[in-house]
Amino acid sequence: MAYSAKVMDHFSNPRNVGEMKDPSGVGEVGNPKCGDIMRMYIKVEHNIITDISFMTFGCGAAIATSSMATEMIKGKSIDEALKLTNKAVMEALDGLPPVKVHCSVLAEQAIKSAVADYYRRQGIDPTPIVGDIPECEACHV
């Protein structure tokens, strides 16, 4: 299984890694059965994600997709962040092997989960805005 240079760079030198103090929202997705668990932290000010960090337990692709996803939405509005797709994350990393595509799905879901938590903390039902966040299909094996 070959990884791109960008995947290797984000795995070896992850950006925005670590637990955040006083986050505006926290999202956790994944399943210990599949071996990948992602936790995303966001800080939101005036509808802008001013800071983001992650803690990921998983393979190199899971770490790389978490890192790239945080880079792609830092400084963006919540609406822009919710438009980030796993396909965009994979393209930014110059692709992933087919068996690792679920890692990019988890990165997308982790961001949505963090935004949903942010809305819940504001007393707003996140479902009409964020939508349903399905479980990882790869985690059902």
Domain boundaries, the chain: 5-130
Least confident of 21-25, 35-39, 71-75: 35-39
- Can you state the percent helix, strand and coil of the chain, rounding each to 5? 45, 20, 35
Residue 114's nearest CA partner among 71, 72, 53 is 53
Over residues 9-38, mean pLDDT: 92
Dist CA 40 CA 81 (whole Å)? 13
Per-residue pLDDT at 45 exceeds 90: yes
Question: The tokens of 69 are what?
Answer: 């996803």
Per-residue pLDDT at 85 exceeds 60: yes
Give the per-residue pLDDT at 117.
98
CATH of segment(s) 5-130: 3.90.1010.10
- Hunting for tokens 């809305």 — which residue is that? 119
Residue 114's nearest CA partner among 65, 86, 73 is 73
pLDDT category of residue 35 using cuts at 50, 70 and 90: confident
| Residues annotated as catalytic (active site), given as ranges | 34, 103
Q: Whole-model pTM?
A: 0.92
Least confident of 22-31, 38-47, 81-90, 126-135: 126-135
Helix (H) or strand (E) holding 57: strand 48-57
